[in-house]
Amino acid sequence: MARLEILKYPDPRLAKIAHPVANITENTVELINSMLETMYAAPGVGLAATQVGVLQRIVVMDVDHENPHKTIYKLINPVITHSEGSLVWEEGCLSVVDFTAEVRRAEQVQVVALDEHDKELKIEAEGLLAVALQHEIDHLDGKLFIDRISRLKRDLYARRRRKMLRSGTQPSEPQHVMI
């Protein structure tokens, strides 16, 4: 396993759409394990392969802060098959540094995916797990949570981020859970 570099906004690779995984191989499992190591080190509760520059539909998550490593999700080709309700959640992202915003998401989702053993998983989720699933699947579709906020807030963040990059300012330590 190796820690991977997490791409940061405005890297154009974050806007790419990931391709379905046709065959789950030893390399797929190695990527998943490296993504988990990277996610925990960041620290975050979710990571999509697109965030580490790999255009494959793979997501790893662990939303249980109290018991890390207890309930790990390793999802290959995840698809939201049902959603209902609505909630607003304060989101942050490992690829969108120094910024959080309220995002409207479905309150409950059902997701179907494969695990690393090519077995189908069905996940019924609400709360943080539902938000994290939607957030990570958005990454696979080339979307960031800032694409779901007002243009004004997004533009203000983009200008601030460009200024940070020009000046060489380092991001601060996250104050919220980063998805």
Tokens of 178: 């980063």
**3-class DSSP state of 177:** coil
Residue 120 among the catalytic residues: no
Three-class SS of 103-160: EEECCEEEEEEECCCCCEEEEEEEHHHHHHHHHHHHHHCCCCHHHHCCHHHHHHHHHH
Question: Which of 30, 37, 136, 173 is labelled catalytic?
Answer: 136
With 0-12 / 13-18 / 19 or more C-beta atoms within 10 angstroms meaning exposed / middle / buried, residue 141 is middle
Q: Residue 121: beta bridge partners?
A: 113
Rounded distance between C-alpha atoms, residue 149 and residue 142, angstroms: 15
Distances (CA, A) of 25 to 19, 38, 92: 15, 20, 31
Rounded distance between C-alpha atoms, residue 46 and residue 38, angstroms: 10
What is the set of active-site residues? 136
